[in-house]
Amino acid sequence: MCPGHNYSAPSKRAIVSAEGGTADQAGGRFALAAAAASIASGDTMLYGTTNRDGGPTGSGTVFQMMLDGGKWTETPIWRFADDGGESVNASGVVLGAGGALYGATRDGTNFPDGTVYKLLPPASGGWLLRTMHVFSGGADGSSPNPIIIGKGKVIYGTTQSGGGACNCGTLFKIQE
């Protein structure tokens, strides 16, 4: 924590315009709606997600925003399946070691109970998606919420449902 900064009341403001409105008014097509939905990498880069209505495929995206010369520029770095196979959890991504991004999808045609994924930054070419876990809707749960990364590249999270007789969700741990 930085001395002199007030962390109790984070602010939200649109930094770009999307589809004729501010980022907050874009109907989910551009997800910079809350501080929790995006992560910063230094002072000139943000990462975030759009929900299933985002991007040209309608299945959501992971994007990068770069500040250059006082102007923010959006670059989609991953578009989820054209066939609606996955939809991204609009809660954002987590920045890991080596610039990798981690996140969760809630549902989709191919993975109806959600996934946890890792996006590897490009060494040459584009970003690469690695699916780390596919939820079954049974004992492991269904529809994962936002994730966090703990020590030793351990991923923790919860699911909204599944996990037993009450269908009350799960707490999960994935060791990379």
CA distance 149 to 112: 24
- Mind listing the pLDDT tens digit of every residue in the chain (176 residues)? 334 433 344 444 455 544 433 443 333 344 333 333 456 666 688 888 887 665 566 677 888 888 888 888 888 888 877 555 566 666 689 999 889 999 998 877 678 898 999 999 988 888 999 999 999 999 999 999 999 999 988 999 999 999 988 899 999 999 98
**Separation in Å, CA 26 to CA 5, 17, 23, 55, 93:** 30, 9, 5, 12, 19
The pLDDT of residue 45: 84
Using a 10 angstrom Cβ sphere, with 0-12 exposed, 13-18 middle and 19 or more buried, the burial of residue 81 is middle
First and final CA of the chain: distance in angstroms? 28
The pLDDT of residue 1: 37
The pLDDT of residue 88: 66
The pLDDT of residue 60: 77
Put residue 114 in one of left, alpha, beta given phi > 0 → left and psi -120 to 50 → alpha.
left
Closest CA to 142 of 132, 150, 133, 153: 133
The pLDDT of residue 76: 86
Using a 10 angstrom Cβ sphere, with 0-12 exposed, 13-18 middle and 19 or more buried, the burial of residue 175 is exposed
The pLDDT of residue 75: 87
Task: Give Cβ neighbours of residue 72 (< 8 Å, ≥ 6 apart).
Answer: 15, 16, 46, 65, 66
The pLDDT of residue 56: 61
